[in-house]
Chains A and B, each alone.
Chain A
């Protein structure tokens, strides 16, 4: 419980920092005023309401969703390297949206909402099929390499389309690395609903995922149907990842970092781990975003770059710890 309390405190702190850091004058009291007694004539208030608040909300949605998606994926694949970014699911959502808006000739929020989810689902199915997940247990090495390859291919397509359309570098950064910089333009409402749906589904099926991780024969004996649970997990991961990509682009590595920490806070009970990963995911993403904004002003480092800078060493550390027997 203490770890959970720490996580909540961290999230509150991260949220406050997201709203206050970088505000020129007034700091916390100005932010408080803008939220409690909004003055539509004060440009500072408008900036907080229209720039900072969307950024905070997008960070909350994307962070919580990616953290939970990572935890489910690691639980169901028993692969400590599983992450929606590394396994190409983020890239699938980004690819579907970018190619869809190229074909449709428009890039509105409805289109994005309609395409991000099927894209994520298709990539998830593809990576498991290619990674050997259909034949039996997908080994961490093969699944990871399949994800890296799928992700490389899809993001190459995304870069080709964006470069061919001569879009601004900012668009490229959003769709290739992930960013919270223009959160106000994203379909926050739609994606929040999808993320909440995914989160509820994940929490609902969590005990049965745990049963499944005892081995499918034993799980069947306990009255669970492995196929259905896997389908449920796929739907949850798709909803969560699609929502995150919709508001923040393909941010990678958060799903790798968060589950390890959540396991400590959740005490190895999947339901509690999921709640902890939502809190920790949002907190880490908001911290990473805030740090990215203040290290080299006036330019800001995109949040996807920040998570990769933290997450890549973690990936190396975990790869070293994989036992030889676990690599098959």
Chain B
């Protein structure tokens, strides 16, 4: 075993440990503080405050956060690899806010369609719009134009969202506003099952597609030479990426910046270079960020549940700034 693999294993262990710590902390801290021992007895015996916390109070929320964060993180990594630009995340390019808009519109119209379906439709529509609008006159597509046009679509959906929110009755409007910021308050096992169900299906599809992503990494000519239909593969991968993001949005709202942060963070810790490893580490990193953001959002102001999206906004935006200055120094954008 060489030093590189050792470092990779150590990184993966660090990432896994961080996720475990984030989960335990998130279960312990809240309006009522629990000790790790309480949780442990609750888990083993199914009785006492620990069991209640796990089963009803915090368990479902934490599990939902893990699922949503992993889906968003994986989605971010797919686009970052596909477009070879760390800024190319579904939340920067407006896909997640498109998914959010579709859900809010669905709620306003009183539809009975399931949330993930609405969210997927919204996300795909936003992604298609961005892709079409970013094509230049000569038919070429520059990643940076894609990102800027995506930002524009994000602005537009944000405006459309606040338009829709004004049409809701006051109590519902406040609730919708929180949801649109990205919130994990009051999630139940239904949400957790939904995000893990959809997420598993998409993960299986992704496992099949990941070979194509590795080939695309080699460059179009080589990939085509090795028998890959590159444009089709790219579309399929983008489709999976959008659906993963939409899965996260359906349960947690369009939480900003998780997809952007997760990929580079995971890659830095594990040192993964292959697309498969990068996506996996991004999923774990996304889960960590989401669990911690939710924890911070509900414990920073005692007795008050802030939307988790406020926290990722406060910490994610500086990260975007830092990324930008680094990229700029490297001359990438």
Residues of chain A at the chain B interface (Cβ within 8 Å): 81, 130, 132, 141-142, 144-146, 148-150, 152-153, 155-157, 159-160, 163-164, 166, 169, 172-173, 177, 252-253, 296, 299-302, 304-305, 308-309, 311-313, 315-316, 319-320, 322, 324, 327-328
From B75-83, B272-280, B321-329, give the one contacting chain A: B321-329
Contact with A along B149-185 (1 / 0, CB 8 A): 1011101101110110011001001100110010000
Q: Is the CB of A169 within 8 A of B173?
A: yes
Chain A residue contacts of B313, Cβ below 8 A = 152-153, 155-156, 159
B226 at the interface (CB under 8 A from A): no
Write the nearest CB–CB distance from A309 to chain B, whole angstroms.
5
B133 at the interface (CB under 8 A from A): yes
Q: Is the CB of B333 within 8 A of A141?
A: yes
Task: Tell which of B152, B167, B257, B314 touches A313, judged by Cβ atoms closer than 8 Å.
Answer: B152
Tell me the bound Cα distance from A297 to B197 in angstroms: 42
Q: Is the CB of A146 within 8 A of B166?
A: no
25 contacts between A and B (CB under 8 A): A132-B325, A141-B144, A141-B148, A141-B333, A142-B324, A152-B316, A153-B314, A155-B313, A157-B314, A160-B310, A163-B307, A163-B310, A166-B304, A177-B162, A252-B155, A296-B166, A301-B166, A305-B159, A305-B163, A308-B159, A309-B159, A316-B152, A316-B156, A319-B145, A324-B142
Q: Is the CB of B324 within 8 A of A164?
A: no
Q: Is the CB of B333 within 8 A of A327?
A: yes
Task: Tell which of A156, A311, A322 touches B155, judged by Cβ atoms closer than 8 Å.
Answer: A311
Q: Interface majority SS on A: helix, strand, loop or mixed? A: helix
Contact with A along B297-329 (1 / 0, CB 8 A): 000010010110111011011101100110010
Query: For A144, A157, A315, which residue has the most chain B Cβ atoms within 10 angstroms?
Result: A315
Q: Is the CB of A322 within 8 A of B166?
A: no
B134 at the interface (CB under 8 A from A): yes
Interface residues on B, range: 35 or more
- Which chain A residue shows the least CB distance to B333? A141
B136 at the interface (CB under 8 A from A): yes
Chain B residue contacts of A253, Cβ below 8 A = 155
Chain B residue contacts of A164, Cβ below 8 A = 301, 304, 306
Tell me the bound Cα distance from A312 to B159 in angstroms: 8
- Which chain A residue shows the least CB distance to B303? A164
Q: Is the CB of B306 within 8 A of A130?
A: no
Task: Tell which of B151, B167, B177, B310 touches A156, judged by Cβ atoms closer than 8 Å.
Answer: B310
- Known contacts: A152-B313, A169-B177, A324-B142. The answer to whether A142 contacts B333 by CB under 8 A is yes
Write the nearest CB–CB distance from A172 to chain B, whole angstroms.
7
Tell me the bound Cα distance from A108 to B316 in angstroms: 32
Q: Is the CB of B167 within 8 A of A296?
A: yes
B264 at the interface (CB under 8 A from A): no
* 8 closest Cβ pairs, A-B complex: A156-B313, A153-B317, A308-B159, A316-B152, A312-B156, A319-B148, A312-B155, A149-B320
- Which chain B residue shows the least CB distance to A327? B144
Tell me the bound Cα distance from A153 to B311 in angstroms: 9
- Which chain B residue shows the least CB distance to A154? B317
Q: Is the CB of A300 within 8 A of B166?
A: yes
Tell me the bound Cα distance from A45 to B198 in angstroms: 60
Query: Other CB < 8 Å A-B pairs besides A153-B313, A164-B301, A319-B151, 13 of them?
Result: A142-B333, A145-B147, A149-B320, A156-B311, A156-B313, A156-B314, A163-B178, A166-B304, A177-B162, A296-B166, A316-B133, A316-B148, A327-B333
Q: Is the CB of B174 within 8 A of A149?
A: no
- Which chain B residue shows the least CB distance to A126? B321
Chain B residue contacts of A322, Cβ below 8 A = 145, 148
Chain A residue contacts of B256, Cβ below 8 A = 152
Near A by CB (< 8 A), chain B positions 45-88 give 87
Task: Tell which of A132, A145, A327 touches B320, judged by Cβ atoms closer than 8 Å.
Answer: A145
Write the nearest CB–CB distance from A327 to chain B, whole angstroms.
5
Tell me the bound Cα distance from A320 to B138 in angstroms: 12
Q: Is the CB of B174 within 8 A of A308?
A: no
Tell me the bound Cα distance from A160 to B155 in angstroms: 20
Chain B residue contacts of A152, Cβ below 8 A = 256-257, 313, 316-317, 320
